[in-house]
A and B are shown apart, each in its own frame.
Chain A
C-alpha cells in the first residue's frame, strides 16, 4: 500500500518536473509546478512530516504558485522565447553536464551506506514537536527569518512601484 502511494507520488513529481521545463506556455509550467508540490506533500506525509506537508500545501501550492499565476497574467506573455538563440551550444552541453551530475549524485546515494532507519518518537513531525524545537533551540534563526520576511515585503514594494514622473 505504502509502495503504491510512493510510486504514484514519485511519478507525479517526475512528470511535473519534466513539465515545468519542457512546456512552452508559462501557465502550463506553473501548473506542472503545482503537481510537483502536491506530490512532494504526499511524500512528506509518508516520511512522518505532517506539519511540513501542511506548510507545503498552504505556502507553496497556495501562495507561491498563485503568485506565479498572477505575474503570468500580469505580463500577458507574448513570449518571444527562442527567436534568436545567442548561445547555440549551451543546450546540448547543459544536458550532458546535467546527466553527469545526476550520475554522480546517484552513485553517491547508492554506494554510501547510511545509518539504519531510526524509530521516531511518538508525535514526531507534528506541529507541536516542530514548534517546540523552533521556539527553543532555533529561536534566534526564527526571529531573523521574520526580519528577512519584513525586508522582502519592503523590497517588493520599492522595486515594484511605478517609476516616478520626472
Chain B
C-alpha cells in the first residue's frame, strides 16, 4: 500500500506545472489544457483522501468536478472559437482589451 503523501506530492507537482503553464504560455488552447491539468491534480487529491479516510464523499466530489469540467471545456472552447472568428487569433496577448 503506497502512503497517501506520495500521491499528494504527484498532485502538488502537477498543479504547479499547470499553474506555470497558465502564467507562461500565450496560446489560449494550451492555457485551457493547463487548467484541465490543475483540475485533474485536485481530483487526485480528492481520491487519495477518500481512500485514506475510507469516505466515499471524496469520490462523489470528483464526479461533480468532472461534470463541471466538461461544461467548462464546452463553453470555453465555444468562446475561443468566437474570438478566433472575430480576430483570427488565439494568442491572448492580442485580445487583452475587455471592450474587445
Interface residue ranges of A29-66 to B (CB < 8 Å) = 29-30, 33, 36-37, 40, 43-44, 46-49, 51-52, 55-56, 59-60, 63-64
The residue that B33 contacts in the complex, of A47, A48, A68, A138, with Cβ under 8 A, is A68
A80 contacts B by Cβ under 8 Å: yes
Q: In the assembled complex, which residues on chain B have CB atoms less than 8 Å from the CB atom of A68? A: 29, 32-33, 73, 77
Contact A120 B51 (CB under 8 A): yes
Q: CB distance B52 to A6 under 8 Å? A: no
Interface size on A, residues (CB 8 A): 86
Task: Count how many chain B residues have C-beta atoms less than 8 Å from C-beta atoms of the other chain.
Answer: 72
In contact, A84 and B37 (Cβ under 8 angstroms): no
Q: Are A82 and B52 in contact (CB under 8 A)?
A: no
Can you list 27 contacts pairing A with B, beta carbon distance less than 8 Å? A2-B1, A14-B13, A21-B20, A26-B27, A43-B47, A47-B7, A49-B62, A60-B66, A60-B69, A64-B69, A71-B29, A85-B26, A85-B93, A90-B23, A99-B16, A110-B9, A114-B5, A114-B52, A117-B1, A117-B51, A120-B54, A125-B56, A130-B63, A152-B75, A155-B74, A155-B78, A160-B82
Bound together, the chains give a CA A141 to CA B90 distance in angstroms of 35
Q: Which of B42-100 contact A (CB under 8 A)?
A: 43-44, 47-48, 50-54, 56-57, 59-60, 62-64, 66-75, 77-82, 84-85, 89-91, 93, 96
Cβ 8 A contact of A80, one of B3, B62, B91: B91
Give me the interface of B with A, judged by CB distance under 8 Å: 1-10, 12-21, 23-27, 29-30, 32-34, 36-37, 40, 43-44, 47-48, 50-54, 56-57, 59-60, 62-64, 66-75, 77-82, 84-85, 89-91, 93, 96
- Are A114 and B4 in contact, CB atoms less than 8 angstroms apart? yes
Chain B residue at smallest Cβ distance from A113: B5
Whether the Cβ atoms of B59 and A130 lie closer than 8 Å is: yes
- B85: chain A residues within 8 A (beta carbon): 162-163
- Quick one: which of B17, B64, B84 contacts A21, CB cutoff 8 A? B17
**Per-residue contact bits, chain A 3-21, to B (CB 8 Å; 1 contact, 0 not):** 1001000100110011011
- Interface contact B51-A36, CB-CB below 8 Å: no
Task: Tell whether, in the assembled complex, residue B64 and residue A141 are in contact, meaning their CB atoms are under 8 Å apart.
Answer: yes
A42 to chain B, nearest CB (A): 11
Hey, what's the 0/1 contact readout for A85-120 against B, CB within 8 Å counting as 1?
Answer: 110001100110111011001100110001101111
By a CB distance below 8 angstroms, the chain B residues around A44 are 44, 47
Name the distance in Å between A147's Cβ and chain B's nearest Cβ: 10
Whether A75 and B27, one on each chain, are in contact in the complex, defined by CB atoms closer than 8 angstroms, is: no
